[in-house]
Amino acid sequence: MAKPLNIGMIGYGFMGRAHSNAYRKVNHFFDLEHEPVLKAVCARDAAKAQAFADKWGYESIETDWRKLIARPDIDAVDICTPNNLHRDIALAAAAAGKMILCEKPLAMNVAEGEEMTAAVEKAGVPNIVWYNYRRVPAVTLAKKLIEEGRLGRIFHYRAVFLQDWTISTDLPQGGTALWRLDAAAAGSGVTGDLLAHCIDTALWLNGSISTVSAMTETFIKERKHTLTGKVEPVKIDDACAFLARFDNGSLATFESTRYARGHKALYTFEINGEKASIQWDLHDLHRLNYFDHGDESKLRGWRSIHVTDHGGGHPYMDKWWVPGLQIGYEHSFVHQVADFLEGVAKGQPVGPTFRDALETQKVCDAVLSSAQSGSWVKV
């Protein structure tokens, strides 16, 4: 029988659900030494915490995250709060010797991120950040292809993350539901929320970014604030685009926005190498597009790979259904839990660690700084 690994979750929003689902499912599909146990969920509002616990089968609730961290029956702390609480919780959890699974972006800024990274490394606790898209099978396959050297020298990287949910001027900012629009809770707008995903994937697939030139814009300048009830200036970036150069000599463009009408969560990336190119798209996440210049010339074309095969080496897919049957968004979290637990069993770190996520934070900070100064900024 699998050994229990007791989870204490702080926060219960969209990510709280995605993580809880992953903990509940993982052992049905993966053979693991450990099994997550939903020990406690923590939220300031006891009624809401209890409702969430009932829904997902958490054994207990807490209303003070410090108490949750202090509990000896908690092995791992899962941080699903708004960004402005990540640092304090992570430092306390590390000090208490807990494993930490932290939502992205790691921190409000590089300074916080460095503190947090130092803390987990000093404590020697397993730590991971929920950049879940690395573990969409098509994305993991892309990584594999790059590691196998199939793309050759890389010339170009381009990524966008496009949404359209904040176009209406009637949408308020702040509060539980809309903290992502409140700079005090979120730190930044699309840069930390969406571009951070693009950057994490890019660093993973294509190595370090050396310099960036960015621009940001806030299209709707004022919105009613949910907490104060008043119309207040919007301080987050509604859109952000930047040029970048990677250490490997490739050029990149990155863009994200919540004002791209027609796109709900269109995260796409494309990598052009000397020998082959790759495209991926979150709206059809179970497919990878691949162009191989090595193909016979009259038969060259972009291959639409339905990443659902088993024997074929499609990552993770042998754990699920049968070839041709797609999985979805939630499965990336299940894969992350499975890999994390395997790392725990082997005593090995599993990325993206806090240190990996700190690199993403550095790019985010450089991007915001460049957007402000109008100059190229070194990461």
Site for its own copies in 208-227 (CB under 8 A): 213-215, 217, 219
Asked whether the beta carbons of 254 and 274 are under 8 A apart, the reply is no
67: contact with its own copies by CB under 8 A: no
Structure tokens at 129: 């950040």
Burial class of residue 373, CB neighbours in 10 A (0-12, 13-18, 19+) = exposed
The 15-54 site mask, x for binding its own copies (CB under 8 A), equals: --xx-xx--xx-xx-------------------------x
Taking the C-alpha atoms of 118, 84, 176 and 61 in order, what is their torsion angle to the nearest 10 degrees?
A: 40
281: contact with its own copies by CB under 8 A: no
Residue numbers 336-375 binding its own copies by CB under 8 A: 374-375
282: contact with its own copies by CB under 8 A: yes
Measured in whole angstroms, the distance separating CA 268 from the mean position of its chain's CA atoms is: 14
- Least Å distance, CB 348 to its own copies, is 25
Residue numbers 218-277 binding its own copies by CB under 8 A: 219, 239, 241-243, 245, 249, 251, 253, 255, 257, 259-266, 272-277
334: contact with its own copies by CB under 8 A: no
Pick 65 or 242: Cβ nearer its own copies: 242
Asked whether the beta carbons of 90 and 98 are under 8 A apart, the reply is no
Strands 209-217, 239-246: pairing is antiparallel
Q: Is the peptide bond before 105 cis (omega within 30 degrees of 0)?
A: yes
Structure tokens at 306: 């339905």
331: contact with its own copies by CB under 8 A: yes
Residue numbers 158-197 binding its own copies by CB under 8 A: 158, 160, 162-165, 167
Which residue type occupies 288? L
Residues binding its own copies: number (CB under 8 A): 98
Query: Among 170, 229, 298, 348, which residue sits at the site for its own copies (rule: CB under 8 A)?
Result: 298
376: contact with its own copies by CB under 8 A: yes
Q: How many CB atoms lie within 10 A of CB 78?
A: 31
